[in-house]
Structure 1
């Protein structure tokens, strides 16, 4: 296990980062493409580039700008935009995973004031870690749960043993050929979190895993982190899981037959 290993945070760089979530008068760097540097790839409005503020030691930090508008997010994208975004992001993530210099590569997304993010403009991050293999701390149970929707090649569930939060959704696909259905389900769950969750929620994270032959996205509504988890590593799970599952089914899958 590598649970004792920690990623060193470079605080003197962090304090220089712009924050458009807390201070909405701050100029958004992603809205001014003419000032962007170290661009690796572009496709339409998607831009894959080096993160200007490298706040982690022994890591290679990159960004994917998802849209050219600060007002858009996953819940408002067209279906095709979301599908193309996921293909673009996963392709670059898997390419980085092939590089021998990294022990592991993270693909994740922060959105909202409680997500750990600083820029409101929708983006994803791909981070290559040179000395840490996060997969050593994963367990199968983190991705198991109550089935919301299942079809050939894809399962959407609500974690029965969430990794850290009260409520975690898992979108699991068998291989890359099912990326489009993963994109569709991510979009539905993000819309649910931001618009129909049982308490008001304006923040979420997406975490991606290449785990035991499956591609997995974990979507997590974010609030203030529980002190029981921070202080004692005691996880919690919502007591209304059945109601959440039925609510999501009713809103987003009422006219879709489940195929087992």
Structure 2
């Protein structure tokens, strides 16, 4: 299989604000200055979908979805109803791009924390249209399957047995549009679980990726971010915990959700 990397335009990145650089003074957050935002596509309450001011990837259309006006907000501390509205709005924006016919593929993801690969702390997602590349060609259906945590006709949740990177990835699969609110609740529970319970609370960063499924549904995949394993960096070999550990993790995550994980955490 031929490797087709995304080309990063370094010149475009000059002057881009970065929350995680070691500088004496943090840059002014551009997403807090709502009155100065331009190229807005859609707006719903505090949520704003707009063109990315620093489109660093060649042959793409990069957009940003600002989740909230609260600079320190995150899925983990939103009110459950606000999180449900966010997922509905973001999914509608993704479908608008994906159904436009302008791109070979559309990527939808979220960075959170200093090790996530993101540059700004303010809560946001990214939707990126790839004009000539299939962004999903290295993925397989078994990346979204695993040890069951929850399953009904609308939503299926599992701990991945064939992760994209590893070690423990949470898959929250939306099987029917009627399950959107339940899907959003499981995503929120997964974020809280990953940041506060999994790895004994040592995880401070995560990525949330959204993948269209072959059956018409969509998978939300939560990946904890530490240092990337050498096997993945050098060989693209993912690693996974042993089955006993995954079974134990699935049992613990199921109990976490059942015990009312929608209590807000202050990080």
Counterpart in the other structure of 1:19: 18
What is the CA–CA distance in structure 1 between the aligned matches of 2:147 and 2:34, rounded to whole Å? 43
- CA 1:255–1:59 in structure 2 vs 1: closer, same or farther (change >3 Å)? closer
Contact 1:22 1:113 in 2 (8 A): no
What is the CA–CA distance in structure 1 between the aligned matches of 2:90 and 2:10, rounded to whole Å? 28
Contact 2:153 2:176 in 1 (8 A): no
What is the CA–CA distance in structure 2 between the aligned matches of 1:231 and 1:145, rounded to whole Å? 25
Which secondary structure state, in structure 2, belongs to the residue aligned with residue 105 of structure 1? strand
Counterparts of residues 103-122 of structure 1 (less than 5 Å): 103-122=104-123
1:209 lines up with 2:211 in the alignment: yes
Counterparts of residues 77-156 of structure 1 (less than 5 Å): 77-156=78-157
Using the size of structure 2 for normalisation, the TM-score is 0.91
Contact 1:149 1:155 in 2 (8 A): yes
The CA RMSD measured in Å over matched residues stands at 1.6
Using the size of structure 1 for normalisation, the TM-score is 0.94
Contact 2:172 2:221 in 1 (8 A): yes
Counterpart in the other structure of 2:187: 186
Which secondary structure state, in structure 2, belongs to the residue aligned with residue 136 of structure 1? coil
Which secondary structure state, in structure 1, belongs to the residue aligned with residue 208 of structure 2? strand
- CA 1:120–1:155 in structure 2 vs 1: closer, same or farther (change >3 Å)? same
What is the CA–CA distance in structure 2 between the aligned matches of 1:126 and 1:105, rounded to whole Å? 7
Which secondary structure state, in structure 1, belongs to the residue aligned with residue 256 of structure 2? helix
- Aligned residues, how many? 255
Deviation at 1:76, TM superposition (A): 0.4
Counterpart in the other structure of 2:4: 5
Q: Which is further off, 51-60 or 19-28?
A: 19-28
Which deviations, in whole Å up to 9, do the C-alpha atoms of 1:195-231 show, x marking residues without a partner? 1112401101111111112211111111110111111
Deviation at 1:253, TM superposition (A): 2.0
Which secondary structure state, in structure 1, belongs to the residue aligned with residue 189 of structure 2? helix
Deviation at 1:255, TM superposition (A): 7.7
Deviation at 1:48, TM superposition (A): 0.4
Counterpart in the other structure of 1:242: 247
Contact 2:186 2:257 in 1 (8 A): no
Which secondary structure state, in structure 2, belongs to the residue aligned with residue 16 of structure 1? coil
Gaps of 5+ in 2: 262-267
